[in-house]
């Protein structure tokens, strides 16, 4: 949940950390917040509850799978320090190694230095000056405000405000999504800070990271033989079931996801709605057949 503290209560708690527990806490004007000057500081009187440690350990398993170094090492180091003084909070015999977060194969690599620079810019609300290579191989220098730092579909992205693209300035600014693996160079501008735009976060929460075209409803009949994982994956979307098919209704689905699903069925599918999607699939299939001609 979100805790609402008055400035008086917050100041008192910071003072208690310093005076009663000896915490090396100082205000960092550049980051506009209070931070430990020694990140390895620990006080035995500040014990962590078992349920909190369980959350920390499960979070570390996720971080270990999706974070590159050096951020991954920092998380592992912090959790290791906590484990030296606290119980895990896990049931006896639980094997954390068997709690796996599996990433899609063949993900594009992200430079650890660029990842950390982008992360720090997001955390500190600093402008980024970067060199970016687009999917069409266009290289451009950009000035960017990283409002959202997101893991999506196996890749890391920034979503924010593009102020400059080479010599072109945007006024009003342009909302853009940048893939971290396409950033070739990144540098924080230390004397420029932005304020988070709640409208960007609201849009991401409601519609996702990308502004893809969406279809209000797609109705499919997936025919036998089909991978049983389809039935499991659409368990809450199945509207009818027969001996040789399942009927699924997919609402507000990005068009590209609908097309991926249809072609992944390897022909064992009927498109019941909408009609224009059926026409588009027919055109794609005809083009594919033409490309297969000798």
Quote the number of domains for the chain: 3
Tens digits of per-residue pLDDT, 138-162?
Answer: 999 999 999 999 999 889 999 999 9
Using the 3D structure, point to which of 48, 67, 98 is the last residue of a domain. Answer: 98
> In this predicted structure, what is the pLDDT of residue 1?
42
Report the C-alpha gap between 36 and 178 in whole angstroms. Answer: 31
Residues shown for the chain: 294
The string of DSSP letters for 99-129 reads ---PPPSSPPP--HHHHHHHHHHHHHTEEEE
The SS3 assignment for 225 reads coil
CATH of residue 141's domain is 2.30.30
Instruction: Give Rg (Cα) of the chain.
Output: 25
Helix (H, G, I), strand (E, B) or coil at 58: helix
Positions of the chain with pLDDT under 70: 1-4, 30-31, 40, 42-47, 226-233, 235, 294
Of the three residues 157, 173, 207, the one that is the final residue of a domain is: 207
Q: Are 43 and 12 part of one and the same domain?
A: yes
pLDDT for position 165: 96
Cβ pair 160, 147 in contact under 8 A: yes
Residue 174, strand partner residues:
162
pLDDT digits (tens, 9 = 90+) for 240-289: 888 888 899 999 899 999 999 999 888 889 999 999 999 999 999 999 99
The answer to whether residue 236 is domain-embedded is yes
| Position 148 in a domain | yes
The range of the structural domain enclosing residue 151 comes to 112-207
pTM: 0.71
Which tokens in the block code for residue 140? Answer: 């451009």
Same domain, 189 and 248: no
């Amino acid at each position: 949940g979100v805790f609402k503290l008055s400035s008086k209560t917050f100041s008192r708690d910071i003072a208690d950390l310093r005076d009663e527990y000896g915490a090396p806490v100082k205000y960092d004007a550049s980051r506009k917040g209070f931070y430990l000057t020694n990140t390895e500081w620990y006080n035995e009187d500040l014990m962590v509850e078992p349920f909190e440690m369980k959350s920390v350990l499960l979070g570390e398993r996720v971080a270990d799978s999706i974070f590159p170094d050096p951020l991954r090492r920092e998380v592992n180091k912090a959790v290791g320090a906590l484990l030296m003084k606290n119980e895990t909070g896990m049931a006896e015999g639980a094997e954390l190694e068997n709690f796996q977060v599996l990433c899609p194969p063949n993900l594009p690599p992200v430079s650890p230095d660029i990842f950390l620079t982008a992360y720090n810019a997001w955390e500190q609300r600093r402008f980024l000056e970067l060199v970016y290579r687009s999917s069409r191989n266009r290289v451009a220098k950009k000035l960017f405000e990283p409002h959202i730092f997101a893991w999506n579909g196996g890749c890391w992205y920034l979503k924010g405000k593009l102020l400059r693209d080479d010599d072109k300035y945007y006024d009003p600014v342009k909302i853009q999504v940048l893939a971290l693996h396409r950033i070739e160079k990144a540098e924080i501008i230390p004397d420029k800070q932005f304020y988070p735009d709640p409208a960007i976060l609201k849009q991401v929460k409601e519609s996702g990271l990308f502004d893809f075209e969406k279809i209000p409803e797609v109705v499919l009949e997936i025919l036998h033989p089909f991978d049983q994982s389809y039935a499991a994956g659409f368990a809450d979307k199945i509207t009818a079931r027969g001996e040789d098919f399942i009927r699924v209704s997919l609402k507000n689905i990005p068009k590209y996801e609908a097309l991926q699903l249809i072609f992944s069925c390897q022909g064992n599918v009927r498109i019941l709605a909408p009609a224009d999607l059926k026409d588009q699939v027919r055109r794609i299939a005809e083009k594919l057949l033409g490309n297969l001609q000798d």
